[in-house]
Amino acid sequence: EPEVTQTPSHQVTQMGQEVILRCVPISNHLYFYWYRQILGQKVEFLVSFYNNEISEKSEIFDDQFSVERPDGSNFTLKIRSTKLEDSAMYFCASRDRGDFTGELFFGEGSRLTVL
Amino acid sequence: QKEVEQDPGPLSVPEGAIVSLNCTYSNSAFQYFMWYRQYSRKGPELLMYTYSSGNKEDGRFTAQVDKSSKYISLFIRDSQPSDSATYLCAMSRFTTSGTYKYIFGTGTRLKVLA
Q: Mean per-residue pLDDT for B9-34? A: 94
For residue B87, the cross-strand partners are: B37, B108
Q: Are B23 and B5 in contact (CB under 8 A)?
A: yes
CA distances from B25 to B1, B80, B103 (A): 9, 28, 10
Q: Mean per-residue pLDDT for B99-109? A: 90
CA torsion, points B61, B63, A49, A84, in degrees to nearest 10?
-80
A97, pLDDT greater than 80 = no
- Which of B39, B65, B99 to mutate to probe the A interface, most A CBs <10 Å? B99
Of A44, A56, A106, the CB nearest to B43: A106
Q: What is the pLDDT of residue A74?
A: 92
Q: What percent of chain B has pLDDT over 90?
A: 71
**pLDDT tens figures, A5-14:** 999 999 999 9
Minimum Cα–Cα distance from A88: chain B residue:
B41
The count of CB pairs under 8 A between chains A and B is 62
The alpha-carbon gap from B39 to the nearest alpha carbon of chain A, in Å, equals: 10
**pLDDT tens figures, B44-77:** 999 998 888 889 999 999 999 999 999 999 999 9
* Average pLDDT, rounded, for chain B: 92
CB contact under 8 A, A91 and B44: yes
Cis peptide before A8 (omega within 30 of 0): yes
Cβ–Cβ contact B40 with A under 8 A: no
A22, pLDDT greater than 90 = yes
The alpha-carbon gap from A41 to the nearest alpha carbon of chain B, in Å, equals: 6
A99, pLDDT greater than 70 = no
**pLDDT tens figures, B73-89:** 999 999 999 999 999 99
What share of residues in chain A are helix, strand, coil (percent, to 5)?
5, 50, 50
Q: Counting runs of H as helices and runs of E as strands, what totals does chain A give?
A: 0, 11
B7, pLDDT greater than 70 = yes
Helix (H) or strand (E) holding B89: strand B85-94
